Structure 1
Amino acid sequence: MLSFESAGRGILCNDAETRPSIWCKGVQPALPLWLASHPDCTPYDPASADEARAILRSALQALYVDHQAGFYYLATHDDTCVDTGPLHRADAQGAIKGMYRLRFTPEVSTVSTASTNGNRKTPPQIRLCGAGKALQRVLHAARLLSQDWGIAAEVWSCPSYTRLAREGRAAARWNMLHPQSRPRRPHIARCLGDSTAPVIAVTGYAQHIAEQIAPFAPGRFVALGATPQRGTAYADFPGAPWITLIALKALVDEGALSAQTLEAALRTYALT
């Protein structure tokens, strides 16, 4: 109704829960799919007030100064999701485009990264992406990977998987239609680069929202999202221990870790 009344232009900030709930404020499961597939909508799930502020400023500029068509949807949250600190200009631009790297860099345990002969060795690396409230659990998982397993995790905040995927598809189409021109490189490709380190993308929405960026990840990719609980109206996304386990599994599949690591993780976090 809001989209119709505003002639398809505007900014909707919705503080409803992003997961199905028994309460009336819960978002219907079909809403995220509709938002991601609506060509006139640019949906965001910011994880902090600074991210939301940067996105709002960009939306106001695009809609009411540059007179672009379409509307923006922001999932806002009643509680503080994560304190990412003040956004620098480059990070704010990255948030608007869909992702930026956090300055949080976990310290890798010297015990975990030491080889049997006493020499230091380079720890396995992995990229963790999170949006909205899920980013807090991603940061917790990064700390667990560092402290418990000696694995360096690069953490990215991804306020809009949908915008990243759309730009990626648009660039791929342009490159196909202009084979003799310099290829366009979307924002996600510039962020992830050519590294083949596994990418774990987590969202508070259904899993398919994060899966949108799978074609643009250069290495192994795993998407995690909210899963409805059988027999209830609730849905929840994985906690930090499960995100940690999935990250370890990706590294095992890459041959960077032994299978025994998974067995140890299942016991450590009581996930069996």
Structure 2
Amino acid sequence: PDDTAYALPKKGSGTQEIATTMAFVRLLKDLLRSKDFGHRIVPIIPDEARTFGMDAYFPSAKIYNPNGQHYTSVDRELLLAYKESPQGQIVHVGINEAGALAAFTAAGTSYATHGEPLIPIYLFYSMFGFQRTGDAQWAAGDQMARGFIMGATAGRTTLTGEGLQHADGHSHLLAATNPATVSYDPAYGYEIAHIMRSGLERMYGGNHEDPNVMYYITLYNEPMVMPAEPENVDVDGIVRGIHRISVGEGEGPRAQLFASGVGLPWALEAQQLLKNDWGVIADVWSVTSWTELRRDGLAADEHNFLHPEEEPRTAYLTQKLQGAEGPVVAVSDFMHAVQDQIRPWVPQRFATLGADGFGFSDTRAAARRFFKIDGPSIVVRTLQSLAEDGVVDRSLAAQAIQKYSLHDVNAGTSGNAGGES
């Protein structure tokens, strides 16, 4: 299919503030309209369609019910009221994660069991995925199911105020244990579009040696600046796991900041703070998949292990970092261990920041200060790494801790300070 089916942001059209969940829902709405394959898409909703804005699908795609709709819905006066039909596309199973995953497996294996390729797209709160139905997803992989698993309200700090129910800082680690799962943590709408395009081509294009996979893509309910797709964007990097989105300009000590998902704004904030307050020039990289970078590195290591007589193969991440100056600091809204997956293939000094431990029910900014993953925390860790390399004085890190009040968990400045959205 051509790009128009993917609602790719127009190049150079400016920016807007939007959550990646809404960016995905808009993209999916356009995919459903595709004349080529829109009728094969099976949206699966195990919980709250309106939370994700998926009620926009009700009037056109309709909810599947083999017996039609024989009740008067409580939302009948709304423009986007429930509409059930024997021809409906949406599988709306209620609060039933196990049933939704069963529907995903049935649709995802229909290409083999019925000779009818279907594209299940299962959207859920990320904590209700691999944590609650991980064994069922393993069974789906065993049955060679194909489709998209969209973990919304992802991350440890993005849905504050609900205790631990949505404090997901580990689903990417759980997903990494499933060999049939290809995991991504995108930050921008155009990244989601390219990842889904690649996934559709791999699973249904008929040209990939291993099409029997499921794509796990984490989404966020937190509005953030959503830039248009840049000219000459590194599509290969987006799909393989990393691309540089901002090159630091100026003279001074240099560093590399890695971030994924909702963590990218913190890295961009840190880039500005490092330059303005400490004279450090940093590049910012969007890591769309820590796990895929690790798998590529392991594949390179295995090739070198089995073919010592050949020219050593270099991991994709190592290739990307050739010529990149300074230490690397990696951050996300997930545990340190998610970022630590790529450590062996980073040739520079490598440090991680992550949200380990149970959730912290407060504002997003305070939670990020508590976990030390916000912009100022990235600055301090970068200064420490530069000091360890002998590039800056060790006293700078202590000065930065004092300047940004890092000892005060209520002094967070990064991110949306609101609660749920």
Same fold by TM (over 0.5)?
yes
SS in 2 for 1:190: helix
Q: Which residue of 2 aligns with 1:247?
A: 382
The answer as to whether partners of 1:130 and 1:156 remain within 8 angstroms in 2 is: yes
Say if 1:230 and 1:23 are closer, same or farther in 2 by CA, change over 3 A.
closer
Q: Which residue of 2 aligns with 1:193?
A: 322
TM-score for both structures, normalised by structure 2: 0.57
The answer as to whether partners of 1:81 and 1:135 remain within 8 angstroms in 2 is: no
SS in 2 for 1:205: coil
Q: Which residue of 2 aligns with 1:115?
A: none
1:12 to 149, 160, 173: 149
Shift of 1:225: 1.2
What does 1:173-252 correspond to in 2, within 5 Å? 173-193=302-322, 195=324, 197-228=326-357, 236=368, 237=371, 238-252=373-387
Q: Which residue of 1 aligns with 2:298?
A: 169
Cα distance in 1 between the residues matched to 2:152 and 2:257: 25
Shift of 1:138: 0.5
The answer as to whether partners of 2:252 and 2:279 remain within 8 angstroms in 1 is: yes
Say if 1:195 and 1:24 are closer, same or farther in 2 by CA, change over 3 A.
closer
What does 1:56-205 correspond to in 2, within 5 Å? 56-66=196-206, 68-88=211-231, 90-102=233-245, 104-108=246-250, 122-193=251-322, 195=324, 197-205=326-334
Structure 1: gaps (5+ residues): 109-121
Shift of 1:64: 0.7
Query: Counterpart of 2:401 in structure 1: which amino acid?
Result: L
Query: Counterpart of 1:45 in structure 2: which amino acid?
Result: D
SS in 2 for 1:100: strand
TM-score for both structures, normalised by structure 1: 0.86
Structure 2: gaps (5+ residues): 1-97, 109-142, 408-421
Q: Could you tell me the percent identity over the aligned residues?
A: 30
Q: Which residue of 2 aligns with 1:114?
A: none
Shift of 1:148: 0.6
Larger mean Cα displacement after TM superposition, 170-179 or 192-201:
192-201
Larger mean Cα displacement after TM superposition, 145-154 or 181-190:
181-190
Say if 1:262 and 1:70 are closer, same or farther in 2 by CA, change over 3 A.
same
Query: Counterpart of 2:220 in structure 1: which amino acid?
Result: H
Say if 1:224 and 1:69 are closer, same or farther in 2 by CA, change over 3 A.
same
SS in 2 for 1:204: coil
Could you list the per-position Cα deviations for residues 45-89 of structure 1 after superposition, in whole angstroms to 9, with x for gaps in the alignment?
110000000000000000011361110011112234443431445
Q: Which residue of 2 aligns with 1:43?
A: 183
Structure of higher RCO (CA pairs closer than 8 Å, 6+ residues apart): 1
Cα distance in 1 between the residues matched to 2:224 and 2:342: 23
Cα distance in 1 between the residues matched to 2:385 and 2:267: 15
SS in 2 for 1:193: coil
Could you list the per-position Cα deviations for residues 105-135 of structure 1 after superposition, in whole angstroms to 9, with x for gaps in the alignment?
3444xxxxxxxxxxxxx51111000000001
Matched, 1:32 2:172: yes
Query: Counterpart of 1:129 in structure 2: which amino acid?
Result: F
Paired residue total: 258
Cα distance in 2 between the residues matched to 1:88 and 1:185: 28
User: How big is the alpha-carbon RMSD for the aligned residues of Structure 1 and Structure 2?
Assistant: 2.5
Query: Counterpart of 2:214 in structure 1: which amino acid?
Result: F
Say if 1:170 and 1:94 are closer, same or farther in 2 by CA, change over 3 A.
same
The answer as to whether partners of 1:97 and 1:163 remain within 8 angstroms in 2 is: yes
